[in-house]
Chains A and B, each alone.
Chain A
C-alpha cells in the first residue's frame, strides 16, 4: 500500500471505520512511513477538537419552554370544518350571513350564465342547419372523356362539427336534419393531371343569395374541393367632402 492510498484512507482509519484487513495494512504502512504517521496524528487531533465542542448551556427554562410550546400545539383541539363554521356562526352571525348570500349569488349567476350559453349554442346550430347548402364531391375521370360523376354528400359533417364544438355531439347527432336546397350548378371541369392547384371562385346563383361557392383543384386531378362560405357584403363607400 503506497502513501497516496494510505492518505485517502486515513480519515476512516482514525475512527476504525475500515475492515480489519485494511486497518492492519494501513497500520503497517504507518509504522514505517513517518510522513503518513504525522498526518494520522493530525487527523486524530482534529477529531478530538471536533468532539471537544461543548454545547451551549441550555438551561431548564429553555427545555421547559420547548416542551410547553410543543404540548400546547399537541393539545390544541382539532376542529372539523362544520365545527369551525358553527363557531363562526355563533360569534359573527352577520358576517356569516353576508358571506353565505355572496356565495349563493355567485352560484346563481354562474348557473344563469351557463344556461344562456347553452341556448346560444342551440340557436347557432339551427341557423347553420338552415343556411348550409349540400356539399358536392365530383369524381373526374383521368382521360377527360367521361362526364363527371356527381355524388351528393349530406351536410351532416359540418353540422356535427358545430355540435362537437359546443360539446353536444352525442345528444343531437341522431335528430333528422331539415331538407336543404339542391344545387344545380354544373362544376367547372379543370383538365390536366399534374398542373399547379388552381383556385376557381364563382358566385352560385342558385344557392341561397348570402353564400359564396369556392372550388379548389388539388394536385390529384380526381380530387376537387368545393365549399361554401357566407358572402361578405361590402359596405358602400361614402365620399365626404
Chain B
C-alpha cells in the first residue's frame, strides 16, 4: 500500500508541475499556490515534492550564493547547505509566508556561515579557473573565447567590487539591485528595518561607484 501511496503522491506532484506549466510561471498567484502545495507535501516527508522545489529554485539560490561569495565552489556548497537546511526546517515554514523570501533568508545565512568558515580561500573566480573547469570548452572560434575572457574579467572586477562591501551591505545590494527585490522584502529577509536597508544600499552603491571610478582611471593610465 505504501508503494501505491507513493504513486499517488508522485502523481499529485506532477499535477502541480503541470498546473504551473499550463500558466506563465511568472504569474505570482499560480506560482505561490504551486509552491505552497509542494511545500505542504514536502512537509509530510514527500521527497518528490521537495525535489521539484529544488528544480524551481536552484538557479536563484546558486546565483545569489555566487554573488555573495564570488566563486562557484563555495556557491555550490552554500546552495547545497541552503536546501538541506530548508528541508530540515520545513516544518517551521508557514504556508502563508512567501516561500521565496524564506529560502532567500536561509541562503543569506548559509552564505554568511560559509564565508566565515572559508576566509582563507581564494575568493574570486578567475578566467583561468573557469577555463580549468571547462566552462569555455564549447566555444569554437578564438573570438568567442576572447569575448568569454573579457566577460570573465569584467565578472571578476564586479565580484571584487562586491567584496569591498561589508557583509550586510553586500547582502542588501545583492538582494535589492541584483535580485531586484523591493526594499521592504529585503528588510524582512535580512531581519532589519527598511531605513537600515536603505542606508546599507546607499552606502554600497557609493562604494561600488568609487571602485568603478578607480578601475576606469587605471585603464585610462594604461
Q: Which residues of A contact B (CB under 8 A)?
A: 11-12, 14-15, 17, 42-43, 45-47, 49-58, 62-63, 65-67, 69-71, 73-75
**Segment among B13-21, B58-66, B96-104, B109-117 that sits at the interface with chain A:** B58-66
A109 to B: closest C-beta gap in Å: 41
27 A-B contacts, Cβ less than 8 Å apart? A11-B205, A12-B202, A15-B176, A42-B209, A42-B213, A43-B205, A50-B158, A50-B173, A50-B178, A50-B208, A51-B177, A52-B154, A53-B67, A53-B159, A54-B151, A56-B72, A56-B125, A57-B135, A58-B72, A63-B59, A65-B76, A66-B54, A66-B58, A67-B51, A73-B84, A74-B50, A74-B84
Q: How far is the CA of A56 from the CA of B178 in the complex (A)?
A: 15
Q: How far is the CA of A186 from the CA of B54 in the complex (A)?
A: 94
B66 touches A70 (CB 8 A): no
B50 touches A55 (CB 8 A): no
For chain A, what secondary structure do more than half of its interface residues adopt (helix, strand, loop), or is it mixed? helix
A46 touches B178 (CB 8 A): no
Chain B interface size band reads 35 or more
Residues of A within 8 A of B173 (CB): 50
Q: How far is the CA of A80 from the CA of B185 in the complex (A)?
A: 40
Chain B residue nearest to A59 in the complex (CB): B135
Residues of B within 8 A of A73 (CB): 84
Residues of B within 8 A of A11 (CB): 201-203, 205-206, 209
Q: How far is the CA of A42 from the CA of B217 in the complex (A)?
A: 13
Residues of A within 8 A of B151 (CB): 54
9 shortest A-B CB distances, which residue pairs?
A11-B205, A46-B209, A53-B158, A11-B202, A70-B83, A46-B212, A11-B206, A12-B202, A57-B135
Q: How far is the CA of A75 from the CA of B54 in the complex (A)?
A: 14
Q: How far is the CA of A47 from the CA of B178 in the complex (A)?
A: 10
Residues of A within 8 A of B51 (CB): 67, 71
